[in-house]
């Protein structure tokens, strides 16, 4: 909290919605700092954070059910503005004496709300008498409002789509303003935090950079820090920020497992040794990782665990060689922090490895330096630009910790990885040439564990099938396939087949990614 004490703050109490993180993202996009805390620990977070307003998220629970989640009464009685969303509306109304019932017509997906009365929540966006599209996701609903509440908007299956007690500054919506499907939903949230809660827009990356540098210096003092580089954006931004704070007290360790995209290992070394002149230990461990992966066969979980274990072993050995380091830097992001304390059953403490396949052992007994733990992924990219990292690095598509191993289902070999690396590079090159790279959230090639018979020229071939995937996403929680035209796919497939020996067929994956799924296996 040292980096955020000077800012106005909003507390989001999480009741388990899949899109709670989107509430935080929308609020931060409006320049206001906020944190998400599960309902079980919300009172402690409320006392510590001292927010200017509180938001109750949606959730899968049913308020009438015995043992369903409740909000701390101290929050409701605090006199602060509260916005209840979906389940948040229901639980707030219930705890204020209203009635919530199940058994009514549910609403899932798009709906239209009819605005019945003006409200500070609607200022500058919705007008009395207008109809506006929103996103609903509810089964239960409020059937009797608490005293002091009045209806501001209604929908076909939600008679209290928006209800408020404006004297006490309690506002509720049955729909989800945080999702993009709700028209002007982000502005509605901005109205709540700015106009109703009175928050200032003082959450910027320039301010965060300076505040975090001071925090790192205070935490580390004259101590030494080691940072494990994965080659991804998170660890790179963390390392550059820490180096700006403490200089050569930081040493980076780059464990090159041979599973990166074409040319990326060399790019990491150039960036840190040549551009930033940051002390870097480059460990070429490709042979070790490949030998272990070949022993794993085709079991994806065995491969993940092997990569995580070897990364830890190599990193730990190099840390001992450096000697004297008492601090470990990690690129932990805010979603990692949120997920590690999820009320839905996640572990209470999770240390993120740079390969997302396991934690660092307790025997290392190092203090953690996590300068990004308050940031979302898009905020990390903004901070990277603020620090001067090259755009080609900061804007690069996300890459999984296990690297190409996750994009090569079945048995792993150097030959298959090299084939995949070349195909992937051609695919991304074509995307860049078409001016589509920044419009796509993530694109990659996959070498499928099947071979097919094909004809190339006058010869029959029996080679691998390559799958191409490209998705659009706002937040990485959900994704949909990118609608390439056939001319693009034809160009990319032709180049891959002609230039990559070992591939004779290319397919395009048009599946979507629902919340919580991993990217391929």
Active-site residues, by number, are 86, 176, 178
Determine the number of helices (DSSP H) and then strands (DSSP E) in the chain. Answer: 15, 20
* Strands, E assignment, 157-291: 158-165, 170-173, 224-229, 250-256, 280-284
Residues near 288 by Cβ (< 8 Å), separated by ≥ 6?
310, 314
State how far the Cα of 60 lies from the Cα of 69, in Å rounded to an integer: 10
- Helix or strand (DSSP H, E) at 481: strand 480-481
CB atoms within 10 A of CB 164: 26
**What are the CB-based long-range contacts (under 8 Å, 24+) for 41-49?**
41/341, 42/11, 42/13, 42/71, 42/72, 42/75, 43/72, 43/74, 43/75, 45/11, 46/11, 46/72, 46/74, 46/75, 46/78, 48/1, 49/1, 49/9, 49/11
Q: For residue 187, give the nearest of 117, 136, 127, 121 by alpha carbon.
A: 121
Which token pair is 333? 């992001």
Q: What angle do CA 162, 165, 166 make, to 5 degrees?
A: 100
Q: What residue has token string 């464990």?
A: 255
State how far the Cα of 129 lies from the Cα of 115, in Å rounded to an integer: 5
Residues near 449 by Cβ (< 8 Å), separated by ≥ 6?
298, 409, 410, 411
Q: Is 82 exposed, middle or buried (0-12, 13-18, 19+ CB in 10 A)?
A: buried
Do 243 and 229 meet the contact criterion of CB atoms below 8 Å apart?
Answer: no
Cross-strand partners of 35: 11
Query: What CA dihedral angle connects 155, 161, 166 and 168, to 10 degrees?
Result: 160
Please, what's the b/e burial string for 104-135 (b: 16 or more CB within 10 A of its CB; e: otherwise)? Answer: eeebeeebbbebeeebebbeebbeeeeebebb
Q: What residue spans of 34-86 are helical by DSSP H?
A: 42-49, 73-76
Residues near 268 by Cβ (< 8 Å), separated by ≥ 6?
229, 231, 236, 254
Q: What residue has token string 């029959």?
A: 460
Do 492 and 426 meet the contact criterion of CB atoms below 8 Å apart?
Answer: yes
Do 201 and 31 meet the contact criterion of CB atoms below 8 Å apart?
Answer: yes
Do 408 and 446 meet the contact criterion of CB atoms below 8 Å apart?
Answer: yes
């Amino acid at each position: 909290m040292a980096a955020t004490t000077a800012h106005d703050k909003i507390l989001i109490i999480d009741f388990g919605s899949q899109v709670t993180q989107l509430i935080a993202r929308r609020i931060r996009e409006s320049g206001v700092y906020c944190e998400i805390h599960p309902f079980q620990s919300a009172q402690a977070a409320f006392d510590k954070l001292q927010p200017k307003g509180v938001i109750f998220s949606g959730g899968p629970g049913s308020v009438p059910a015995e043992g369903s989640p409740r909000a701390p009464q101290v929050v409701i009685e605090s006199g602060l503005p509260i916005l209840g969303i979906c389940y948040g509306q229901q639980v707030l109304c219930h705890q204020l004496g209203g009635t919530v019932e199940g058994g009514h017509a549910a609403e899932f997906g798009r709906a239209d709300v009819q605005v019945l009365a003006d409200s500070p929540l609607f200022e500058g966006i919705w007008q009395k008498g207008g109809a506006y599209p929103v996103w609903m996701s509810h089964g239960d609903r409020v059937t009797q409002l608490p005293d002091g509440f009045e209806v501001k908007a209604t929908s076909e299956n939600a008679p209290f789509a928006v209800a408020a007690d404006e004297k006490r500054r309690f506002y509720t919506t049955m729909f989800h303003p945080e999702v993009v499907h709700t028209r002007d939903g982000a502005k509605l949230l901005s109205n709540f935090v700015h106009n109703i809660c009175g928050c200032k827009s003082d959450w910027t990356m320039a301010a965060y950079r300076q505040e975090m540098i001071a925090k790192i210096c205070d935490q580390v003092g004259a101590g030494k820090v080691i940072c494990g580089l994965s080659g991804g954006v998170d660890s790179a931004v963390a390392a550059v920020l820490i180096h700006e704070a403490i200089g050569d007290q930081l040493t980076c360790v780059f464990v090159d497992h041979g599973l990166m995209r074409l040319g990326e290992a060399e790019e990491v070394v150039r960036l840190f040794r040549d551009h930033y002149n940051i002390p870097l230990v480059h460990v070429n461990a490709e042979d070790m990782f490949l030998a272990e992966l070949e022993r794993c066969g085709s079991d994806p979980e065995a491969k993940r665990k092997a990569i995580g274990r070897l990364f830890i072993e190599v990193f730990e050995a190099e840390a001992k060689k450096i000697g004297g380091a008492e601090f470990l830097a990690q690129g932990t992001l805010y979603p990692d922090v949120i997920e590690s304390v999820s009320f839905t059953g996640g572990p209470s403490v999770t240390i993120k490895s740079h390969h997302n396949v396991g934690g660092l052992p307790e025997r290392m007994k190092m203090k953690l330096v996590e300068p990004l733990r308050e940031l979302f992924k898009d905020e990390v990219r903004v901070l990277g630009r603020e620090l001067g990292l090259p755009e080609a690095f900061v804007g690069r598509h996300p890459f999984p910790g296990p690297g190409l191993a996750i994009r090569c289902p079945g048995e792993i070999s150097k030959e298959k990885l090299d084939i995949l690396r070349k195909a992937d590079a051609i695919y991304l090159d074509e995307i860049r040439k078409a001016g589509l790279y920044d419009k796509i959230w993530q694109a990659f090639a996959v070498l499928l564990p099947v071979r097919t018979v094909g004809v190339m020229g006058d010869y029959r071939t029996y080679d691998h099938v390559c799958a191409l995937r490209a998705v659009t996403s706002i937040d990485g929680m959900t994704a949909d396939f990118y609608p390439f035209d056939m001319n693009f796919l034809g160009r990319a497939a032709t180049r891959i087949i002609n230039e990559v020996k070992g591939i004779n067929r290319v397919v395009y994956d048009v599946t979507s990614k629902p919340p919580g799924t991993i990217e391929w296996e």
